[in-house]
């Protein structure tokens, strides 16, 4: 017998509009005490009048206390539904991409809240970010086996979000064997992605289309790639004809991978690396009189929570200001943000302020978003998190 979760009067509006999240203050705790529900269990969600609205998994200890997994109250999130959703997700990616390197499951965007799956051909990397998904780990493996039969399945369960769900952070291999980075390709350039010990799942597929745009503008240019990670932007720029690329990151391990990925494409002479904090690197390069034709800013999220917005916006503003100082008379800035809490118009404002601070002119010539393998759920603004601006910065 499945338990129920009764909502307060009018608290079903967002659900009717298509949203998948329920907050603890929307639950009628007189009718269905939240604390009486087993964390991670699946429940039937009811409107205040008792009408069944769908099935969700719950976590009474989280602000988002339930996430809807089906509109059909008779369904359960099990191996069968996972197989169905994986097949739906796969059909989209196969329409989009000729090669099997992409995000296969993008959480709520693919109607599977709390689940991320990135595919590197026959290696898949899974992130279970909620207790409800954690409880389905075995079913996820079985469903992936049925849909893709991959050689290796990695659980990269080390995201900070797991802490909010009171889950341990760990990396395990659920199927097969893996002892190092895995080969992949993006925009015609080859990489080795460190799926076991890299950031997130080892690679950031979300910037694929933004990189493709920039790749068309770098031939013969001198390029600075800040927060380079393993060279997604910088190595691709070199592969598309950049004269010289400097990749800067605070992680020595990431920069070793940049060098390996450059060599993999025969680009070791064009790509140099520098280990430094980005702000310190910008100051040092300015002091040395260095200039670049293109500067790429793809920082980690400076705004993790809503309360960080003002500090985060100041950090983005400072970063963009300092980066512009390194551009020549007529340069190109690629300014990105993966902070969900930074509205797109605020990034435009950051760039505008930085251009004026340097007494230059700016022209926004490109506005980019996350790639299509990171689909946006139209009822959940939080699923549209990535922003990228291509800005021509010039003097009179």
DSSP string of 284-305? HHHHTT--EEEEEE----S-SS
- Give the closest residue to 274 by CA, choosing from 264, 266, 292, 265: 292
- Give the closest residue to 226 by CA, choosing from 156, 365, 310, 322: 322
Distances (CA, A) of 75 to 44, 55, 58: 9, 7, 15
Residue 371's φ and ψ, nearest 5 degrees, are -65, 165
Ramachandran assignment for 121, one of left (phi > 0), alpha (psi -120 to 50 degrees), beta (any other): left
**Token couple for 311:** 């500090």
- Token pair 């539904």 is found at 81
Active site residues: 338
Q: Tally the residues of the chain.
A: 396
- Give the closest residue to 57 by CA, choosing from 82, 76, 40: 40
Three-class SS of residue 182? strand
Q: HSE-up of 226 (CA within 13 Å, CB side)? A: 28
């Amino acid at each position: 017998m499945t338990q129920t979760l009764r909502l307060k009067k009018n608290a079903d509006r967002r659900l009717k509009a298509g949203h998948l999240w329920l907050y603890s203050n929307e639950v009628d705790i007189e009718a269905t005490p939240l604390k009486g529900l087993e964390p991670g269990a699946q429940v039937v969600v009811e409107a205040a009048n008792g009408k069944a609205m769908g099935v969700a998994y719950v976590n009474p200890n989280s602000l988002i206390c339930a996430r809807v997994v089906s509109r059909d109250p008779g369904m359960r999130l099990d191996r069968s539904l996972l197989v169905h959703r994986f097949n739906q997700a796969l059909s989209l990616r196969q329409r989009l991409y000729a090669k099997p390197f992409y995000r296969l499951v993008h959480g709520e965007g693919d109607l599977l809240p709390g689940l991320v799956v990135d595919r590197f051909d026959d290696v898949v990397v899974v992130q279970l970010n909620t207790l409800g998904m954690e409880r389905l780990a075995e079913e996820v493996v079985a469903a992936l086996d049925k849909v893709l039969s991959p050689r290796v399945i990695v659980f990269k369960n080390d995201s900070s979000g797991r802490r909010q769900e009171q889950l341990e952070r760990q990396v395990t291999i659920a199927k097969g064997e893996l002892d190092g980075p895995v080969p992949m390709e993006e925009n015609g350039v080859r990489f080795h992605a460190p799926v076991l010990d890299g950031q997130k799942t080892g690679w950031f597929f979300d910037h694929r289309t933004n990189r493709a745009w920039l790749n068309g503008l770098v031939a013969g240019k001198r390029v600075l790639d800040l927060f380079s990670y393993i060279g997604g932007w910088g190595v691709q720029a070199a592969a598309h004809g950049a004269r010289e690329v400097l990749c800067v990151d605070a992680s020595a391990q990431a920069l070793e991978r940049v060098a390996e990925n450059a060599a993999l494409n025969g680009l070791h002479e064009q790509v140099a690396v520098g280990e430094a904090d980005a702000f310190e690197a910008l100051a040092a390069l300015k002091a040395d009189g260095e200039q670049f034709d293109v500067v790429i800013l793809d920082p980690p999220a400076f705004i993790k929570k809503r309360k960080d917005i003002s500090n985060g916006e100041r950090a983005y503003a400072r970063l963009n200001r300092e980066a512009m100082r390194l551009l020549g008379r007529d340069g190109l800035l690629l300014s990105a943000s993966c902070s969900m809490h930074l509205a797109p118009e605020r990034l435009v404002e950051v760039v505008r302020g930085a251009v004026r601070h340097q007494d230059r002119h700016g022209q926004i010539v490109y506005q980019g978003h996350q790639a299509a393998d990171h689909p946006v759920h139209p009822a959940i603004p939080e699923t549209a998190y990535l922003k990228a601006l291509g800005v021509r910065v010039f003097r009179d």
